[in-house]
Chains A and B, each alone.
Chain A
Amino acid sequence: EADIYQTPRYLVIGTGKKITLECSQTMGHDKMYWYQQDPGMELHLIHYSYGVNSTEKGDLSSESTVSRIRTEHFPLTLESARPSHTSQYLCASSEYRGTQYFGPGTRLLVL
């Protein structure tokens, strides 16, 4: 059973606000990921991390930023939210064999 947590689960916010989506895992996995997905649609990798102080951009260009100061924590920040950022954001972590375990997701609506 995977233990990966995301908060908040739902967020409605106005344009221009700064937001941080939290993601934590208790499995000690080095690798963590952020995906953007419209519900039920294709997943797009926006950020990933090999480990502490390691972050890389994914396949889909994103205005968000991430940090990895602790192994268990991988927050995603949007400095100025826009309606185009409305989506579901999924955090995942993986073991060495590559199986990714996902959190429950954050559904973001920017008005």
Chain B
Amino acid sequence: AQKVTQAQTEISVVEKEDVTLDCVYETRDTTYYLFWYKQPPSGELVFLIRRNSFDEQNEISGRYSWNFQKSTSSFNFTITASQVVDSAVYFCALSGPGDTGGYQKVTFGTGTKLQVIP
């Protein structure tokens, strides 16, 4: 069984503050993928990043960075110097390796709503 927990329901920060969104996952698979998506008020889910279970290197993309730690089953997302445009709901997701039919179940967390106040 797969499970993704985003314990932070809502976070408010003042513009230019750093903020970390937590994601903890559970899976029995040895091969799996982790994702982060952003959902702005327009409603579309925007893919941000994918990591596979064999790659624990942290990644930085501009003001975004991701910290993957298998030892704690966590895949946290940090926004540095937050901006108003970062206001959105952020979803963490987990996918297994795929069954024999090719279906990969993707389990989404319940999302964290981030509000960046000017």
Contacts and interface: CB of A to CB of B under 8 A. Distances in A.
A48 B108 contact: no
B103 A102 contact: no
Interface in B32-71: 33, 35, 37, 39, 42-47, 50, 52
Interface SS, B side: strand
B106 A100 contact: yes
15 contacts: A31-B104, A40-B89, A40-B111, A41-B110, A94-B106, A96-B98, A96-B102, A97-B33, A97-B50, A98-B33, A99-B47, A100-B106, A104-B43, A104-B44, A105-B43
Nearest to A30: B102
Contacts of A92: 45
Interface of A: 2, 30-31, 39-43, 45, 48, 50, 56, 88, 90, 92, 94, 96-105, 107
Contacts of B103: 31, 48, 50, 56
A32 to B, nearest CB: 11
A50 B43 contact: no
Contacts of A105: 43-44
A44 to B, nearest CB: 9
Contacts of B101: 50
Residue picked from B33, B89, B103, B111, most chain A C-beta under 10 Å: B103
Contacts, number: 63
B45 A90 contact: yes
Considering the complex of A and B, which 5 residue pairs feature the smallest CB-CB distances, nearest first? A98-B95, A102-B45, A98-B104, A105-B43, A40-B89
B111 A2 contact: no
Interface in B1-56: 33, 35, 37, 39, 42-47, 50, 52
Contacts of A30: 102
B110 A107 contact: no
Interface in B58-103: 89, 91, 93, 95, 98, 101-103
